[in-house]
Structure 1
Amino acid sequence: MDGSQGDMFGAPLEPSAVRRFLADNPDFIREDDGLLAELGLKVAGGNVVDFGPAALARVHAAHQREAEMRQLLEETARANFSAQAQTHGAVVDLLDARNHSDLAWRVDELARTRFGLAAGVIALESEGNPPAGWKHLVEGQVDMILDGPQRLARMGFAPTALGLFGETSDEVRSMAMVRMAIWEPSRQGLLAFASTDPEGFTPDMGSELVAFLARVVERTAERWPLL
Structure 2
Amino acid sequence: MSSSPRIDETLRDTIISRPDVILEDQDLMRALIVANERSMGGNIVDLRGIAMDRLEARLDRLEDTHRSVIAAAYENLAGTNQVHRAILRLLDQVEFEPFLKDLGGDVAEILNVASVRLVLESAQNETDPAIRRMGTVLSVAEPGFINIYLADGRIAAPVRQITLRQVHRADPQIYGDAAPSIYSEACLKLDFGPGRLPGLLVLGAKDPLQFSPQQGTDLLAFFAGVFERSMRRWLS
| Superposed pair shares fold, TM > 0.5 | yes
Deviations 1:40-90 (A, max 9, x none): x3xxxxxxxxxx3x4443333222111111000000001111111111111
Counterpart selection for 2:95 from 83, 94, 99 = 99
Question: 2: distance between equivalents of 1:149 and 1:74?
Answer: 33
SS at match of 1:223: helix
State the match for 2:219 in structure 1.
209
State the match for 1:141 in structure 2.
145
| Structure 1 position 67 matched with structure 2 position 67 | no
C-alpha RMSD over aligned residues: 2.7
Aligned length: 182
1:114-133 equivalent positions in 2, closer than 5 A: 114-126=110-122, 127=124, 128-129=126-127, 132=131, 133=134
Question: 2: distance between equivalents of 1:211 and 1:151?
Answer: 10
Counterpart selection for 2:80 from 55, 77, 84 = 84
Residues 161 and 204 from structure 1, CA distance in 2 versus in 1: closer, same or farther, beyond 3 angstroms? farther
State the match for 1:179 in structure 2.
189
Question: Does the 8 A contact of 1:145 with 1:160 survive in 2?
Answer: no
Percent same amino acid at aligned positions? 23
SS at match of 1:80: helix
Counterpart selection for 1:165 from 175, 179, 188 = 175
Shift of 1:37: 1.4
State the match for 2:206 in structure 1.
196
SS at match of 2:89: helix
Residues 125 and 106 from structure 1, CA distance in 2 versus in 1: closer, same or farther, beyond 3 angstroms? same
Gaps of 5+ in 2: 1-43, 152-156
SS at match of 2:117: strand
Question: 2: distance between equivalents of 1:120 and 1:71?
Answer: 34
| Structure 1 position 37 matched with structure 2 position 33 | no
Question: Does the 8 A contact of 1:144 with 1:160 survive in 2?
Answer: no
Q: Which amino acid aligns with 1:175?
A: E
Higher mean displacement: 171-180 or 181-190: 181-190
Residues 160 and 153 from structure 1, CA distance in 2 versus in 1: closer, same or farther, beyond 3 angstroms? farther
Question: Does the 8 A contact of 1:108 with 1:120 survive in 2?
Answer: yes
Residues 153 and 90 from structure 1, CA distance in 2 versus in 1: closer, same or farther, beyond 3 angstroms? same
TM-score (norm 2): 0.68
Residues 150 and 56 from structure 1, CA distance in 2 versus in 1: closer, same or farther, beyond 3 angstroms? closer
SS at match of 1:37: coil
SS at match of 1:150: coil
Shift of 1:211: 2.1
Gaps of 5+ in 1: 1-35, 42-51
Q: Which amino acid aligns with 2:141?
A: L
Counterpart selection for 2:230 from 215, 220, 223 = 220
